[in-house]
């Protein structure tokens, strides 16, 4: 699926859950072509996610994922 990253398209979220911190990196996109749909599509896709033992660990993992995503 080819697409264009939306301006400010990377979105990071950290949530506390059962004493741990879940993190997720999503990318907003526009102009995607999908075989089963007609016309350009837009939306959000999760490109990385994980769990940290504490906020600092989750934050470091999220930062690494953002760096890797460019």
Higher confidence at residue 48 or residue 27?
48
Q: Which long-range contacts (CB under 8 A, 24 or more apart) does 44-53 make?
A: 44/11, 48/24, 49/22, 49/23, 49/24, 49/25, 50/22, 50/23, 51/17, 51/20, 51/21, 51/22, 51/23, 52/20, 52/21, 52/23, 53/20, 53/21
Instruction: State the pLDDT at residue 6.
Output: 62
Domain ranges in the chain are 4-69
Determine the average pLDDT of the residues in 49-66: 92
The string of pLDDT tens digits covering residues 34-55 is 778 787 788 888 999 999 999 9
Partners of 10 in the beta sheet?
A: 27
Query: Averaged over 8-37, what is the pLDDT?
Result: 83
């Amino acid at each position: 699926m080819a697409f264009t990253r939306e301006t400010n398209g990377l979105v990071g979220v950290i949530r506390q859950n059962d004493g741990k911190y879940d993190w997720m990196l999503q990318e907003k996109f526009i102009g995607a072509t999908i075989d089963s749909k007609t016309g350009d599509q837009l939306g959000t896709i999760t490109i990385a996610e994980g769990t940290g033992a504490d906020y600092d660990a989750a934050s470091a993992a999220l930062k690494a994922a953002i760096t890797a995503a460019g």
